[in-house]
């Protein structure tokens, strides 16, 4: 069997977060469940109405462009893309054709072709019996389209790219980009060619992909299908395919004859935009508003705070969680050995706290443990004032009821005992109660010490300092 190289290019649409729609003052509310309430004569395409450009939407795309190192157009305009469909009330979509707002740039190692701005279509439902329904709340929402060059070579790379794009949109406050809600929609163009080939194979385009997992599965499915076809001597036809989520396979939707003739022409109802002449779009101004970008945070968390990359990724992907973690880090900075404290903290947050939150997300949403108290708990463990078992107990109480870790520790009798006078009786008792294990140890079975230590910890109800207990055990046993 020949070896084939897959090539993938993505076209991704994302709804932008703005107060109003792209060209009118109807509300942009993706959570509105009542159909056809956020509409007006403009987004319903009534004759005689005039659109007005939403500045916030333009700014979001300029910020995106700057974040990915693309070229922001000095001059840009909107175009009419003419076609008829019930979800497009005007009979055309206002989009950008010749002069996209952003050209070039790269994200997650993938070169971008362009990013432009357009308006979303209405949402149609065809499965309610004999009629089709159309909800125009979505018609005219600001929609960003990003197109990549055909430079991606695996399904995993494609979904990783889409994830990074989602993060970037969220970090910039440009969109929530929730794929399940259709706020971000991925179309994947896929072709394969024999290894060493100088040209691309025929591509197909897969639509209706509504999760990152589906991005991967749909692309992998197509690569396999193309490979089998070429192996069987068949020809791949250029077409648009849909992704069937239940069957986990793609199906043919329409065969692309010639490229559509949309009769694009510059939108006469809107002014041209001379971006470089608009003071608030000045590059320095935009740059100052970008804030920290996902890859910058990733770098800072691993390099400066010394986190393992898996841990850093949790904070990068869940911005709020990361912000909480960093708020506690700030409090710990005054203490000594920062990296060690931070590592301990990250452990408590990503394992113990994470499982508490998972079991009771409402409690966490209502009352987060305050950063000062969390930092105090970590300092207590570092100073051996409480064992790690004790700290977990305290954390649980802090999560459920709040309160200061010192106070909880003394209430529960969890303060770590390091005094030899206090611990010696425990050690003696354990040795007395376990004669066989002691005999094993004396005859050379080193592992028995670990067992005795465990018994001593238990006897101290978790409050004994394991270091001190071990030292005392060794002392007594060697007598």
Between 7 and 93, whose beta carbon lies closer to ligand ADP? 7
Q: How far is CA 286 from CA 16, 65, 164, in A?
A: 17, 10, 21
Residue 148's Cβ-count burial label (10 Å; 0-12, 13-18, 19+) is: buried
As a whole number of angstroms, the distance between CA 47 and CA 53 comes to 18
Closest to ligand ADP by CB, 35 vs 150, is 150
The residues facing 114 across adjacent strands are: 103, 147
Contact set with ligand ADP (CB under 6 A): 7-11, 147-150, 189-191, 200, 203, 259
Torsion of CA 77, 82, 86, 90, to 10 degrees: 50
In the complex with ligand ADP, which residue's Cβ is closer, 151 or 343? 151
Burial class (CB in 10 A: 0-12, 13-18, 19+), 133: middle
Q: Which helix (H) or strand (E) holds 393?
A: helix 388-401
Q: Which residue, judged by CB position, is nearest to ligand ADP in the bound state?
A: 9
Residue whose CB is less far from ligand ADP, 262 or 451: 262
Nearer to ligand ADP, 263 or 303 (CB): 263
| Beta carbon of residue 188, minimum distance to ligand ADP (angstroms, whole number) | 8
Compute how many other C-beta atoms are within 10 angstroms of the C-beta atom of residue 102: 27
C-beta neighbour count of 351 within 10 angstroms? 11
Q: Least CB distance from residue 193 to ligand ADP, whole Å?
A: 8
Contact residues for 58 (Cβ-Cβ < 8 A; gap 6+): 101, 117, 273, 281
Instruction: Name which of 154 and 474 has its Cβ closer to ligand ADP.
Output: 154
Q: Where are the alpha helices (DSSP H) in 304-385?
A: 309-317, 319-332, 338-347, 354-359, 361-366, 371-382
Long-range contacts of 208-212 (CB under 8 A, 24+ apart): 208/242, 208/243, 209/185, 209/243, 210/179, 210/180, 210/182, 210/185, 210/245, 211/179, 211/180, 212/159, 212/162, 212/163, 212/179
Q: Which is nearer to ligand ADP, 242 or 403 (CB)?
A: 242
Minimum Å gap between C-beta 281 and ligand ADP is: 27
Which residue number, 145 or 183, has a Cβ lying nearer to ligand ADP?
A: 145
CB of 351 to ligand ADP, least distance (A): 40
- Contact present, 418 and 468 (Cβ < 8 Å): yes
User: Nearer to ligand ADP by C-beta: 263 or 285?
Assistant: 263
């Amino acid at each position: 069997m020949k070896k084939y190289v897959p090539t993938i290019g993505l076209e991704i649409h994302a709804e932008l977060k703005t107060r109003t729609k792209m060209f009118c003052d109807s509300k942009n509310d993706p959570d509105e469940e009542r159909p056809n309430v956020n509409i007006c004569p403009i987004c319903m395409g009534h004759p005689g109405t005039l659109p007005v450009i939403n500045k916030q939407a333009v700014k979001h795309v300029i910020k995106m462009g700057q974040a990915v190192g693309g070229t922001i157009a000095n001059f840009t305009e909107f175009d009419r893309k003419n076609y008829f469909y019930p979800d497009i009330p005007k009979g055309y979509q206002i989009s950008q054709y010749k002069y996209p707002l952003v050209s070039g740039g790269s994200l997650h190692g993938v070169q971008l072709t362009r990013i432009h701005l357009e308006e979303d279509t209405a949402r149609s439902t065809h499965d309610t019996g004999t009629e089709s329904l159309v909800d125009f709340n979505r018609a005219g929402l600001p929609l960003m389209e990003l197109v990549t060059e055909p430079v991606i070579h695996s399904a995993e790379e494609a979904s990783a790219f889409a994830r990074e794009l989602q993060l970037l949109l969220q970090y910039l406050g440009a969109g929530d980009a929730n794929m399940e809600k259709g706020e971000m929609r991925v179309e994947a163009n896929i072709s394969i060619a024999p290894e060493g080939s100088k040209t691309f194979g025929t591509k197909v385009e897969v639509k209706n992909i509504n999760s990152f997992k589906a991005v991967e599965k749909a692309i992998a499915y197509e690569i396999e299908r193309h490979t089998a076809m070429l192996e069987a001597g068949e020809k791949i036809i250029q077409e648009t395919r849909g992704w069937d989520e239940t069957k986990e396979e793609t199906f043919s939707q329409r065969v692309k004859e010639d490229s559509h003739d949309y009769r694009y022409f510059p939108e006469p109802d809107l002014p041209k935009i001379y971006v470089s002449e608009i003071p608030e779009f000045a590059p320095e101004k935009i740059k100052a508003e970008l804030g920290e970008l996902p890859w910058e945070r990733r770098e800072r968390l691993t390099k400066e705070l010394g986190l393992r990359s898996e841990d850093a990724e949790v904070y990068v992907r869940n911005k709020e969680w990361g912000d909480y973690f960093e708020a506690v880090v700030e409090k710990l900075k005054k203490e000594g050995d920062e990296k060690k404290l931070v590592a301990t903290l990250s452990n408590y947050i990503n394992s113990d706290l994470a499982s508490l939150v998972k079991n009771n997300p409402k409690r966490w949403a209502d009352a987060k443990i305050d950063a000062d108290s969390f930092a105090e708990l970590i300092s207590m463990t570092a100073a051996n004032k409480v064992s790690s078992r004790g700290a977990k107990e305290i954390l649980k109480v802090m999560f459920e009821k709040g309160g200061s870790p010192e106070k909880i520790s003394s209430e529960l009798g969890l303060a770590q005992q390091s005094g030899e006078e206090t611990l010696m009786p425990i050690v003696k008792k354990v040795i007395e109660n376990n004669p066989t294990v002691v005999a094993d140890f004396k005859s050379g079975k080193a592992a028995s010490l670990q067992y005795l230590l465990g018994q001593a910890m238990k006897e101290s109800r978790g409050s004994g300092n394991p270091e001190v207990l071990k030292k005392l055990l060794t002392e007594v046993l060697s007598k």
